[in-house]
Amino acid sequence: MSVWPAWEVREGERATRWLHVRLSFGDGARIDVLATVCEGWVCVEDVRARPALALEDLAVLSDWIEEPLARACGAGTGPDARDDAGGGAHRDRSARPREREWRLVARVYRSAREQGADPVLAVMDETGYSRRGALRAIGRTRDAGLLSPRHARR
C-alpha cells in the first residue's frame, strides 16, 4: 500500500490536500483512490479497481485506507493518534464502538423482525442513519456474525 500527495490548496490557515492511495494485492488486483483531506474530513473523490470491487468491498474501502492516510497526514498510528488524522476531527474507529453498534443493530433488527415491522426502518430510527447507512450497518453486522446471512447458500 502506498500514499503520495497529488496537490494541496491553501486558503489562509485552511488547507485541502488531495492524496493518491494505491492498494496492490498479491493476486495482481489493484485499487487506486484519490482522497481529499480537509479540516479532519476525508472524502473519496475517485476509485478505480481492477478487477471491479464488490459492494461489500467498496463499503469497507475507508477502513482499508484510513491508516495510510493518517500516516500521510502526519498522525501517528497509536490509538490516541488516530483521532488526529487529517487535522483533528477524525472519527474513532477502534473495535469497541463498532462492536457496540453491531450489537445495537442486531438487537433492533431482531426485535423488529419478531414484531413483524420493517427491520431496516427500525435500524434507521434507532441509529439515525439514512436507508443506505442502515443497510450498510446491517451488512457489517452480518459480516461480524451477529445476524444470519441474508441468503442461504446452496
Position 119 scores a pLDDT of: 93
Res. 87: pLDDT tops 60: no
Q: Which residue has the cell 431496516?
A: 120
Q: What is the pTM of this model?
A: 0.46
137-152: per-residue pLDDT in tens? 898 888 888 888 876 6
Helix (H, G, I), strand (E, B) or coil at 45: strand
The mean per-residue pLDDT over the stretch 80-107 comes to 56
| Per-residue pLDDT band at 113 (split at 50, 70, 90) | very high
2-48: per-residue pLDDT in tens? 888 888 888 888 888 888 988 887 788 888 999 888 776 778 889 99
Contacts of 1 (CB under 8 A, 6+ apart): 21, 22, 23, 24, 64, 65, 68
